[in-house]
Amino acid sequence: MFTLQDITVRPHITIRETLQIIDKSSKQIALVVDEDNKLIGTLNDGDIRRGLLKGFTLSDTIENIYFRTPTVANINESKETIIKLATTKKILQIPLIDNDGILVGLKNLDELIDQQKKPNKVILMVGGLGTRLRPLTENTPKPMLQVGNKPILQTIVEKFSEYGYDNIIMCVNYKSQIIQDYFGDGSQFGVSIEYIMENKRMGTAGALSLLPELPTEPFFVMNGDLLTNVNFEHLCDYHLAHQSKATMCVREYDFQVPYGVVNIDNGKITSIVEKPLHKFFVSAGIYMLSPDIIQYIPKNQFYDMPTLFEQLIENKENVLSFPIHEYWLDIGRVNDYERANNEYDKAFDV
């Protein structure tokens, strides 16, 4: 199985060694990184041949022959943007980097156009009561509310399927039959859907203890009341590249104090800040988890995702954030629902 490390090299490696790596890999490219794993260039067979024509030997390092200004894509860019970039530049492969320039993936144009199925499970938490959305949820579970002429949950399923994630588990409770009757086994939507019944409130992580089989690959967990254009494939790449145990999508949230804030020290006014703006990162309700973290979740008990992350942090596990800048909306209140319907066509290019 291909891993990014198979084609990652440092500048001090020899041309001969790099050729062996390129020939061995089906990707036919080497990605050159520095000691911090930041992408600094690429190297393919053509680059090596041009180097040899200039007088370099197979025993020389690749320092003077690798391509230093490759076209790259950011981890926050959509699949459509990357396809457009690749076709415009007339290239078949584009390295993927995060906001710090760290290499996290390699995108192939053919694979992007003909999306391959992936083994990672998608677990959707869709059992909530939707109390804050009443009376809309009196007869309809929140994930089944119509936005853009389809249920919120259908948009979520379609977005995961778009990226090749078609193995879906829905954790259901409130008015679960409505969800099951609509989606069935998922075949109508091009996916496979299983259901886990929560006989009591389990929280945003507790239902994971009810999984009949332990996932063998990192898996997604997502709340069923979200609308987002986040690139799920990039989230997976990021999680794997950084060897994370648990990755939380986070969203920047800010609010402005409507007054002048007076800073005081021992009764003395030290400064006055007029209407300061405070910024925070908040959980976006989307997670990527490695299978072995399920051992932290108590069996058949209420357990929230923040509690899981706190436990992982306390145990010094590698826990990361994945900032998202794409469209994202938590449909928690009636005004959020109205906003979602107003924005849907534009956000999802309908």
Query: Which residue pairs from 59-62 have beta carbons closer than 8 angstroms and sit at least 24 positions apart in sequence?
Result: 59/14, 59/15, 59/16, 60/14, 60/15, 61/11, 61/12, 61/13, 61/14, 61/15, 62/9, 62/11, 62/13, 62/14, 62/15, 62/18, 62/30, 62/32
Q: What CA–CA distance (Å, rounded) separates 281 from 323?
A: 8
DSSP 8-state symbol, 180: H
| Residue numbers annotated as active site | 275
Alpha-carbon distances of 314 from 81, 254, 296, 303, rounded to whole Å = 39, 28, 12, 16
Cβ neighbours of residue 181 under 8 Å, at least 6 residues apart? Answer: none
Record the tokens describing residue 299, joined without a space. 């069996």
Q: Tokens 């390699």, residue? A: 106
CB atoms within 10 A of CB 281: 13
The sheet carrying 73-74 orders its strands as: 73-74, 93-97, 103-108
Q: Tokens 């199925």, residue? A: 117
Residue (of 84, 82, 103, 102) closest to 94 by Cα position:
82
3 state DSSP class of 164: coil
| Helix segments in 149-245, DSSP class H | 152-162, 176-183, 203-206, 232-241
CB atoms within 10 A of CB 85: 17
